[in-house]
Amino acid sequence: MVYSKKEFSNFISILIVVFILSIPLSSCQAKEISKADTSKSVKTNIFVRFEHIAFNVPDPVATVKWYTTNLGMKIMRAGSAPTYTTFLADSGEHMMIELFHNAGYPLLEPAKMHHMAIHLAFSTPSIVKTQEMLVAAGATIADSLRKTDSGDQVMTLRDPWGLPIQFVERVKPMLSFTGLYIEHFAMNVSDSRAKAKWYGENLHSVIVRDGIAPTYGMFIADAGKNMMFELYQQQKYPIIDFTTISHMSIHIAFMVDDIQVAKSTLVAAGAKVVDDITKTASGDFVLMLRDPWGLPIQFVKRGNAMLK
């Protein structure tokens, strides 16, 4: 069959249109789908780990000395005047506390808080020796040594500045570390199951111990099980309204590998931005949020990580 010049030109035009229509499926659209899939994958697999708990204290220099001398904590980053911001890690470098004095924000004043409202807990291999040593160093007893139904030995002290610090000697440790280390941060909350669910869905927290009614005491850890939250509903003890407490008085910090994804994910899940993402002089990216119950939660992507 012989085509005229016009018919041949029309045939070529049709072929070109068909080819162009096929491009979005094989190229442009594939790139968009790939981009969307990657974004979804990053959200799902974002790395999150507990990094530190921060306290605005009246005398960070003296507080640092007390914790390093008596609890064997290590200085990971030392600060200078005027805030003396210092990061201390437990002996195994699994978790840190940040101590500083920022005169522009209120002090936490933990001495005014019930030890069952909040406390910072350490696991110890010898609770009796730990109590004797710390009381001799200026700590006071908030809750005497006792044995729980599970056989664990527990006591709560207050450091010389009033912070409730609990010590536990477990029959069966919930974390796989040895020595004296930070085990959990405890809070009396209105709904421990809802809070645990939110952290599980959005920060990949895992339930290590699930409690029953009426207190619903739960221990939830980050995916790497570096530290835990202890969440419970104790009606006879106060619940702290963290919405009334400055994020620079206390906050819980998590290390992440993608701070922008952490922000978008958590804000979509009900968190509120307090301080948006900024870059510090040391090269860290920092974001401050509040969870749906008002707890200040910080997210950091370090220029140079202090923990493993």
CA gap 277, 262 in Å, rounded: 11
Domain boundaries, the chain: 48-246
Distance CA 187, CA 139 (A): 21
* pLDDT number for residue 264: 97
DSSP string, 104-168: TS----GGGS-TTTEEEEEE-S-HHHHHHHHHHTT-EEEEEEEE-TTS-EEEEEE-TT--EEEEE
- Helix then strand then coil, % of the chain, to nearest 5: 30, 30, 40
pLDDT in tens, the chain (308 residues): 444 444 445 544 444 433 433 434 333 333 332 333 333 333 446 899 999 999 999 999 999 999 999 999 999 999 999 999 999 999 899 999 999 999 999 999 999 999 999 999 999 999 999 999 999 999 999 999 999 988 999 999 999 999 999 999 999 999 999 999 999 999 999 999 999 999 999 999 999 999 999 999 999 999 999 999 999 999 999 999 999 999 999 999 999 999 999 999 999 999 999 999 999 999 999 999 999 999 999 999 999 999 98
User: Model's pTM, two decimal places?
Assistant: 0.84
Distance separating alpha carbons of residues 88 and 83, to the nearest angstrom: 15
Spatial distance between the Cα atoms of 3 and 49, rounded to a whole number of angstroms: 71
Backbone torsions φ then ψ of 283, nearest 5 degrees:
90, 10
Burial class of residue 280 in the structure, from the number of CB atoms within 10 Å of its CB (0-12 exposed, 13-18 middle, 19+ buried) = exposed
Packing angle of the helix pair 5-26, 28-45 (nearest 10 deg): 0
The pair phi, psi for residue 256, each rounded to 5°, is -130, 160
Residue 279 identity (one-letter amino acid):
K
CA separation for the pair 61, 99 (Å, rounded): 9
Identify residue 67 by its one-letter amino acid code.
Y
CA-based nearest residue to 100, from 85, 88, 110: 85
Domain 48-246 has CATH 3.30.9.10: no
Strand order from edge to edge, sheet including 96-100? 74-77, 86-89, 96-100, 48-56, 250-256, 296-301, 285-290, 272-279
